[in-house]
Every structure is written in C-alpha cells, then in structure tokens.
A and B are shown apart, each in its own frame.
Chain A
Amino acid sequence: MVILSRNTVYSVLYLILSFFNAAIIFLMSNAEFLAMTLIIVYVGAVAVLFLFVVMMLNINVVQAKEGMLRYLPFGLVLISILLIELSLIFSDLPVFPESNTKINISELLNNGNSNTKAIGLHLYTDYFIIFQISGFVLLVAMLGAIVLAYQKNENYIKQDVSRQLDSDRKKAIKLNDIKPNR
C-alpha cells in the first residue's frame, strides 16, 4: 500500500502502519523494549519527518506514477519467482530450528533482568564493537549529508572591509572623454 496509494500522505501513513506491524512482531517475541523503540523512533521521528518533507515538496504524484504500469509485468515476474523460491525453501524445512539462537530472551528475563537491561547488557558488552561501527556509519552519513548539501551562501550582502579600504577616487569615478560633436 505504501507505494500503491496515490496520495503521498497516505503512503506515509501506510508506512507507519507497517512499522506498527513490525513492532507487533517484536512484541510477540517478548521484546517489548525494542517494540517501543521502534514505534518511538520510526513512527515518532522518522515518519513524521517524512510527512513534513512530503508535504513541503508537493510532488506531482500522477506524473511520478507515469510509466509504473510498464514495469508491472516485470515486477510481477520477479515477485512470483521470489515467492516460489521462498515457498520452496520453507517447504523444504519442516521444522524451524527453534532453540538454537544464541540469545534466549526468555532465559534472560527469567534471570531477573528486565528487557531493557538485557539489551543494554548485550549491546555494551558482547556487541560493543558492532555498536561502535554503527556509530561510525552514522558519522559517515552525517558527513555525507554535509558534503553533498552544505553550500556556502554567497547571496547575502556583507561589507568587505579590504575592498572598501582599497577603493579610491580614481577607481570610483571613471572619466569618459565625450566629443560633443559626435
């Protein structure tokens, strides 16, 4: 629905819906904190930002949608291939290996840790380096945004002291010798 709806604002709202669904999946696997974070960060910040951008840009939707239909058959073929593959995979796998995950959330909870604490424990000990690298990835993203978007604004008026001091009568006034007869 995100890409199908004609109105971009609706699209963003559908996006929020899908974020909610993802959050529910997290909830179902006992990860309340993650679910909440997802809602807060994505729905609260990212999606709202999207909404602003969409409203400000005021894209002509109909024009942007032109030519969508042309790629539809191709897309359908791709989708069907992927679906068939997926169904093949999962039919091949009768029992989903259940308890082989490294981190067992319920086990952690039983030890008396809260959900949030468990995540923190893992994130800052075992997965510390991963956390750091993610930080660097974000830093690069920020740098990139600055590099690509920041522009020295040269449109405003300001005093250039050296130029003012540099000017004198000879430069300011230009004498043209005009022959009256011509």
Chain B
Amino acid sequence: MIFIPEIFLAFSALLFILIGPFIRKNAYLLVTYLTLLTVIVAQFLVYKDIFHFESIFNNFFVIDSFGSFIKSLLLIGTAIVLYIFIIANKNTQLNRIEFPILILLSLTGMMLMVASNDILSLFLSMELQSLALYILVAFAREDRNSSEAGVKYFVLGSLSTCIFLFGSSLIYACFGTTNFSEISGAINQLNEIPLILIIGVVFILVSLSLKISAAPFHMWTPDVYQGAPTIITAYLSVVPKIASFAVIIRFLVFPFGEIIVDWGKIILILSITSMLVGSLGALQQKDLKRLFAYSTINHIGFMLIGLVPGSEDGIIAICIYLMLYLIMNIGVFVVILSLSRDNISVSSIKDLTGYFTNNPFMAVCMAVFMFSMAGIPPLSGFLGKLIVLNVAIDNNLIFLAIIGVISSVIAAYYYLRIIKVMFFDSSSDELDIKVNIETKILLAVLSFLNITILFYPKFFLDLSASITFSLFSVN
C-alpha cells in the first residue's frame, strides 16, 4: 500500500483524540511527543517510496517523487515545529492536547494537497489544512490579538476558497472534468484556448496566491503573523507555504503547462510586486514577526521568479530555495520564540537591543540567519538567490533579475538593522538569558547547515533534479 503516510497520520490523529482525555497529567506533552513520533515514522514511510510513481484512488491522488519530496519537507518542518513546541514554548494557553492534533490534521491536509491530482481532492484537502490553521491561529483564546488574527485569516481564507471554487467551476465548464491528467489531455487537443479557461486558471491562481501570500494578495500576512502565537507563526510561515507553493507548481506546470504564455505573465507580476512589497514594506516595521511576514513575501517573490519560465530548471531552483527557506526561517523563529523578558515573551525589534552582550550564542546564530536571508555568501541563502537568478537570466528575464537583486539590497537593509540592534547597540533592559540546551543545539545545527550548505550544493541540485524529473516526465 503506497498511500500509507497520509492514512497513517490521519488515523494517528483520530487515535490521539481518543486517548487524549484519558491521560491525567500533562496530556498535551505526551500527545505532542507521540505526534512527533508519528511524524518521524511518516517521514520514513515517505522515504520508502520516494521514487515511486503511481496514481491512486481513482486518479484523485498521485504519488510521485516531487510530491514525496515536498511531503518530506513538510514533515521535517512540522517535526521541528513540534520539537520547538516541546522545548521552548512559554505560552501556557497552547498546552492542550488539541494543539498537536490540529497540527497533525493540518499536516495531513497539506500532504494530501501536495498529492492531489484533481481539483476536487485539491479543494477538500486545502480546506482541511486551512480550517485547522484558522483554529491554530486563534488558539490562544484569551489573547485578543490571536482571536483577531484568527478571524482575519478565516475571512480571507474563505474568500480565497470562494474564488477557488468559482475558478474550478469555470474549468469544469470548459472540460467537464476536474482531473488534472484529463485536463492536460484535453488542452493538448484544443487548437484555441477559450477565454473562460484562462479566467478559471487566473481565479484559482489568485486563490493560491492568497495562500502563499504573494503580493498583492498578501494583506493578511503581517496581521496574522503578528497576532498568532509565535509557535504557530513559525509553523504558518514555513509549512503551509511550502505546500501551497508545491500545489501552484503542480497545478500550473502539469495540467496547464501548455498555456504558459497566459499564466507566465501573471506569475511575473506577482513575483515583481511580492519582491517590492516584501522589501519595502518591512522597512518601517517594529515587530519582528511582522517584519518576517514581509521577509516571507520577499522570499516568495524570489521563488516565483523560478516559476515564470515554467521550465524544469526553474522548478529545481524553487525546490532548493524552499529547502533553504525552511532552514533559515525555522531558525529565525526559534530565536524569536526564545526571546523573553521576565518570562513574558516579547517580539519587537527593540527588545533585541544588546542581545550580543548578554547572549552571544543566540545572537550569532540569529546573525547567521539574517545574513543568510539577505543572500550574502558564504551562507546558504546566497545559493537560493544564485540559482533562481540563474534561471531568470537563462530565460532572458534580465530585468526581473535586476529587480530581484535590487529588492534584495533593500531587504538587506532591514536584516542588517536587526544585526545592528543586536550587535552594535547596548541595552538597558536586558532579556532573560536562560535558554535551554535543546534550543541551543537545534539552533547550532540550523546555523551549521546555513553556513555549510554552500560547500556541497551538488547534492541538493542532483536531488531536486531527480525529483522534478517526475513532474515533467508525465507531461
């Protein structure tokens, strides 16, 4: 049975719901550990069949190496988030068994999303993951910000759902099918692309852009990032982004690869606006979480560059960028999560003042992530930028590459600002110094990866190349 990881995750979630109430003490902790274990087991299940190709469940889902790769990224991201939750969470409102279970369910939704080969299944699995995410964002009930963020996310998410449904109904009207493979076959037979199809694709694209928060559909991102509990922000900024991005790639490249002329331009505009909004919007931010919301938008813009030509190289570049993004962003949020003063979590940039003086290790790790995000060699972020720009120039999109590098210079300004605050300023109001050893180890590993990845990029390139091959061989 090939479809095991998702089924395994779903049933473990059900099991945890059942056993949760019967545990007396620290039920949430036990369930979190179990969830972490489940995720790790699922990871092995994914690895087992990573180069397998099969379409299953009446062609509703497809298993291929691209999907499996993204799934394993999702699992790694979730595992790290769960681990951080165990070791570093300070928000006691989150200490309930529903928290890991909801994460698990949203993860299941995302994995199904990545594997979907049909608009119907895509829609349902997307709903599964977003519904779980809405709840997670609003999880800290007593925190007004969290509830507000939850409502905002919910309203905009529902809007995106409506748009998605409308778009898919248009596509259905065009072909009478929702299956990607059949759509792909039908498009090949058309001599002329009907307008209705393009509008349908655009609608779905808009809805997915809302999910990956590509500008101009990014409005919810800063508010939700700021309002949600930090651990959820860490989750939100990495895992669903990867999943939605993978869906965009699969959706555009596989069934609609033929009409790249039409969606290529839209992606181009999305990419440019995201890069500019992401770099300019962050300049004035005072809150770290808000700032990293904009930084995410900027990175998304960069990744979209890779999608503009719709070529295999581009997808490889995106895969690598996603991997690096995971490493950088999770690291940043581990640091943010461990910031506290008198045991109360803080997250404004001002709070980092003089961090180097009282906690040099954390500050250096943060600096590594910052330089990496700014894309300065020899750190890993540079590799991502390099490969993406390479794709852009390869496809004669030099102006896009130039906008990209200029936006990265602007972005460097705010990353540098954080470093400046940490290293150059001296603080009067010191943060708590105590950070537990597990957090430190995790950070050390992440920063080590960030420093060293540039020395063996070949491995990642080969990996991504072998993965994306499946996406194109079907076509």
Binding site for B on A (CB under 8 A): 85, 88-90, 92-93, 96-97, 100-102, 125-130, 133-134, 136-137, 139-141, 143-144, 146-148
Q: Judge whether A147 and B102 touch: CB under 8 Å.
A: yes
Q: Judge whether B96 and A147 touch: CB under 8 Å.
A: yes
A140 vs B177: C-alpha distance when bound (angstroms): 28
Closest to A125 in B: B58
Q: Judge whether A89 and B199 touch: CB under 8 Å.
A: yes
Q: Judge whether B124 and A133 touch: CB under 8 Å.
A: yes
Question: Nearest Cβ distance between residue A21 and chain B, in whole angstroms?
Answer: 17
A129 vs B96: C-alpha distance when bound (angstroms): 30
- B-side interface mostly: helix
Binding site for A on B (CB under 8 A): 10, 17, 57-58, 60-61, 96, 98, 101-102, 105, 108-109, 112, 120-121, 124-125, 127-128, 131-132, 134-135, 138-139, 141, 170, 173-177, 194-196, 199
Residues on the A chain within 8 Å of B132, using CB: 140, 144
Which one, B102, B112, B199, contacts A133 given CB within 8 A? B112
Residues on the B chain within 8 Å of A128, using CB: 57-58
Closest to A92 in B: B195
A70 vs B369: C-alpha distance when bound (angstroms): 46
Residues on the B chain within 8 Å of A89, using CB: 170, 195-196, 199
A90 vs B199: C-alpha distance when bound (angstroms): 12
Closest to B179 in A: A102
A82 vs B134: C-alpha distance when bound (angstroms): 28
Max chain B C-beta neighbours (<10 A), residue from A85, A90, A133, A139: A133
With contact pairs A93-B194, A130-B121, A140-B105 given, residues A146 and B199 touching in the complex (Cβ less than 8 Å)? no
Residues on the B chain within 8 Å of A126, using CB: 58
Residues on the A chain within 8 Å of B112, using CB: 133
A127 vs B105: C-alpha distance when bound (angstroms): 21
Closest to B98 in A: A147
A40 vs B80: C-alpha distance when bound (angstroms): 46
With contact pairs A137-B127, A143-B102, A144-B135 given, residues A100 and B176 touching in the complex (Cβ less than 8 Å)? yes
Residues on the A chain within 8 Å of B173, using CB: 96-97
Question: Nearest Cβ distance between residue A82 and chain B, in whole angstroms?
Answer: 9
Q: Judge whether B121 and A133 touch: CB under 8 Å.
A: yes
Closest to B127 in A: A137
Max chain B C-beta neighbours (<10 A), residue from A93, A130, A141, A144: A144
Residues on the A chain within 8 Å of B194, using CB: 92-93
Residues on the B chain within 8 Å of A90, using CB: 196
Q: Judge whether B131 and A137 touch: CB under 8 Å.
A: yes
A126 vs B173: C-alpha distance when bound (angstroms): 21
Q: Judge whether B124 and A130 touch: CB under 8 Å.
A: yes
Which one, A93, A136, A143, A148, contacts B141 given CB within 8 A? A148
A96 vs B121: C-alpha distance when bound (angstroms): 25
Q: Judge whether A141 and B131 touch: CB under 8 Å.
A: yes
With contact pairs A92-B194, A129-B57, A129-B61 given, residues A144 and B131 touching in the complex (Cβ less than 8 Å)? yes
Residues on the B chain within 8 Å of A144, using CB: 102, 131-132, 134-135
A164 vs B139: C-alpha distance when bound (angstroms): 36
Q: Judge whether B199 and A85 touch: CB under 8 Å.
A: yes
Closest to A129 in B: B57
Known contacts A100-B176, A129-B121; 11 additional CB pairs below 8 A are A85-B199, A89-B195, A89-B196, A93-B195, A100-B175, A100-B177, A127-B120, A129-B57, A137-B127, A144-B134, A147-B139
Question: Nearest Cβ distance between residue A81 and chain B, in whole angstroms?
Answer: 12
Question: Nearest Cβ distance between residue A141 and chain B, in whole angstroms?
Answer: 6
A136 vs B174: C-alpha distance when bound (angstroms): 30
Residues on the A chain within 8 Å of B127, using CB: 137
Q: Judge whether A93 and B105 touch: CB under 8 Å.
A: no
A143 vs B134: C-alpha distance when bound (angstroms): 12
With contact pairs A133-B112, A147-B135 given, residues A140 and B102 touching in the complex (Cβ less than 8 Å)? yes
Closest to A93 in B: B196
Residues on the B chain within 8 Å of A130, using CB: 60, 120-121, 124
Q: Judge whether B131 and A140 touch: CB under 8 Å.
A: yes
Residues on the A chain within 8 Å of B58, using CB: 125-129
Q: Judge whether A140 and B196 touch: CB under 8 Å.
A: no
Question: Nearest Cβ distance between residue B102 and chain A, in whole angstroms?
Answer: 6
With contact pairs A102-B177, A129-B60 given, residues A146 and B98 touching in the complex (Cβ less than 8 Å)? yes
Q: Judge whether A133 and B125 touch: CB under 8 Å.
A: yes
Q: Judge whether B102 and A88 touch: CB under 8 Å.
A: no
Question: Nearest Cβ distance between residue A155 and chain B, in whole angstroms?
Answer: 16
